[in-house]
């Protein structure tokens, strides 16, 4: 009798082992390790609901589920606007060299952190005011004046100057005539993919006359400005 009981236990264990390898819900012929059949089939994981997970804000919104390196399901970070700031940069004057050659200066730095890989959208708007080199008179020489805006991506502290983003150029000239009033604006939007980590945006302004000392000038960047940074988590 003892032999028959042992054999029965072995048969049950073997059967359960086979069931554990392929499980079908709503189907008698599962095609995967776990196969849930039916046109309205769903899976519920209580750890991901709004009562148990701070990343699930409830309501009618839907939330992305990600898989980490260990194959564990987790809720994604919510895509959002990291910053939207007006008057972000104090007005900064950048002068050309005395021979009107190129000069540049950092206008503003913004830092942010990504918790997972994402697409980051950076948009800047900044005003430019062209004046003579000393700032006491209007530009009247008729020469072409170039102002550039661009930004470097940094690690939260130090910019990587080997790659430039968001380059935007404005060309200005004026001879002995009436001038228009108001602001000139520079604006650009850039979208880049970034991994999780700490980052910084280093917005720069540059001026270039490429002429003679008589054509040296200055530009005031940032009397009116705006910086928008949004993140789209993948």
Structure tokens at 42: 């769903």
pLDDT class for 179, splitting at 50, 70, 90?
A: low
* CA separation, residue 124 to residues 93, 112, 232 (Å): 18, 16, 18
Quick: pLDDT tens for 124-134.
Answer: 999 999 999 99
Are 115 and 69 part of one and the same domain? no
pLDDT class for 7, splitting at 50, 70, 90?
A: very low
Number of domains in the chain: 2
Are 213 and 155 part of one and the same domain? yes
Quick: pLDDT tens for 146-155.
Answer: 999 999 999 9
How many whole angstroms separate alpha carbon 206 and alpha carbon 175? 22
Given 75, 109, 130, the domain boundary residue is 75
Are 71 and 126 part of one and the same domain? no
Q: What is the mean pLDDT of residues 197-208?
A: 97
- pLDDT of 77 reads 73
pLDDT reading at 4 higher than 70: no
Quick: pLDDT tens for 213-223.
Answer: 888 999 999 98
Quick: pLDDT tens for 56-112.
Answer: 878 887 777 878 888 888 877 777 888 898 988 889 999 999 999 999 999 999 999
Are 102 and 66 part of one and the same domain? no
Are 212 and 145 part of one and the same domain? yes
pLDDT class for 17, splitting at 50, 70, 90?
A: low
- pLDDT of 227 reads 95
Are 99 and 198 part of one and the same domain? yes
- pLDDT of 11 reads 44
* Residue found by looking up tokens 């404005």 in the block: 170
Phi-psi bin for 86: left (phi > 0), alpha (psi -120 to 50), beta? beta
Given 50, 75, 100, the domain boundary residue is 75
- pLDDT of 6 reads 46
What CATH number should be reported for the domain holding residue 217? 2.60.120.660
Are 103 and 152 part of one and the same domain? yes
Are 130 and 200 part of one and the same domain? yes
Are 157 and 43 part of one and the same domain? no
Containing domain of residue 112, as a range? 80-233
């Amino acid at each position: 009798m003892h032999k028959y009981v042992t054999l029965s236990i072995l048969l049950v264990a073997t059967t359960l082992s086979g069931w554990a390898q392929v499980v079908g819900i709503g189907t008698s012929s599962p095609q995967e390790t776990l196969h849930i059949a039916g046109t309205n089939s769903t899976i519920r994981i209580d750890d991901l609901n709004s009562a148990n997970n701070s990343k699930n804000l409830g309501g009618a919104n839907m939330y992305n589920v990600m898989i980490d390196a260990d194959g564990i399901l987790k809720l994604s970070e919510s895509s959002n606007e990291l910053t939207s700031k007006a008057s972000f940069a104090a007005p900064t004057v950048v002068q050309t060299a005395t021979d009107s050659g190129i000069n540049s200066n950092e206008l503003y730095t913004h830092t942010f952190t990504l918790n997972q890989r994402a697409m980051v959208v950076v948009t800047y708007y900044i005003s430019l005011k062209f004046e003579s080199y000393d700032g006491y008179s209007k530009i009247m020489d008729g020469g072409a004046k170039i102002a550039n805006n661009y930004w470097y991506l940094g690690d939260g502290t130090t910019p990587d100057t080997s790659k430039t983003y968001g380059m935007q150029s404005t060309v200005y000239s004026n001879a002995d005539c009436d001038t228009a009033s108001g602001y000139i604006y520079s604006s650009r939007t850039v979208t880049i993919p970034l991994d999780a980590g700490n980052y910084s945006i280093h917005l720069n302004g540059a001026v270039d006359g490429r002429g003679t000392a008589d054509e040296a000038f200055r530009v005031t960047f940032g009397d009116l400005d705006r910086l928008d940074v949004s993140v789209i988590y993948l």
